[in-house]
Amino acid sequence: MRRHAVRLPVVATTEAVATVRSALWPIARLIHPLPRATAAVGNRPPVVLVHGYLGHPDMFRPLIRRLRKSGFPVVETVGYPSTRLRLDQIAERIDAVAAPLAERHGPVDLVGHSLGAVASRAWLKVFGGASRVRRFVSLGGPHAGTAMWRLTPPTLWDVLNPDGPWVHRLAEGPEPVPTTVIRSAYDHQVLPPVRAALPGVAEVVLQGYGHNGLLWARAAHLEVIRALD
């Protein structure tokens, strides 16, 4: 208990910093451009990144930077207004980005954060996306819902309510593609944090980071790359 008490202030600080930095990225991109894509290492497919609730594609800039430097030459993001769209509509946005890439390059790798991870699983399991994906990585996805679901718009209640229909529907059957869960031990948005886990799926539980901190933590970036490799 004492160890947890010591870690919580550190997590709160890093999470606050990560949230502020994420909010400032639309400005920071003007003065801190992404590096050019390097040559591909091996036969690495395109990577598609899907942001979460109240997020935006620029929140993935630190991960994009790491992926490009690590030999992933094609990295695309999916943007959507998370406060207005239903889960099936978010899945359509994913398909609009991933399907053309898969047609040109073959199956892509898919990484989703938070709500984006749940929408990615819906696209894979319900809306036919599995044939277009090689591997999937979930970053802090509330796959079993969250105790915070009432604080979100009603359009998402059937997704984030732990007893909601989408939670039950996506729990049916195995994951259709090789899947890795990367989650925080101290996630303040997925409550309790274990709801970001998936039964029978390999997972990495990171200490010292919060929900948005997963987007900034070098440890999380390296685990994403390890999972895709």
Stronger pLDDT, 15 or 172, i.e. the higher one: 172
Q: In this predicted model, which residue has the larger pLDDT, 46 or 41? A: 46
Q: What proportion of the chain, given as a percentage, has pLDDT over 70?
A: 82
Amino acid at 145: G
pLDDT digits (tens, 9 = 90+) for 56-78: 999 999 999 999 989 998 999 99
Written as six digits, the tokens of 74 are 């094609």
> Would you state the pLDDT for residue 8?
64
In the block, which residue shows the tokens 């709160």? Answer: 12
pLDDT of amino acid 73: 87
On whether the CB atoms of residues 193 and 186 are closer than 8 A, the answer is yes
First-to-last CA distance in the chain?
Answer: 36
The fourth-level CATH superfamily of domain 2-37+45-228 is Alpha/Beta hydrolase fold, catalytic domain (3.40.50.1820)
Q: Tell me: the pLDDT tens digits for 122-148?
A: 999 999 999 999 999 999 999 999 999
Domains of the chain: which residue ranges? 2-37+45-228
- Rounded to two decimals, what is the model's pTM? 0.89
| Arithmetic mean of pLDDT, 38-52 | 82
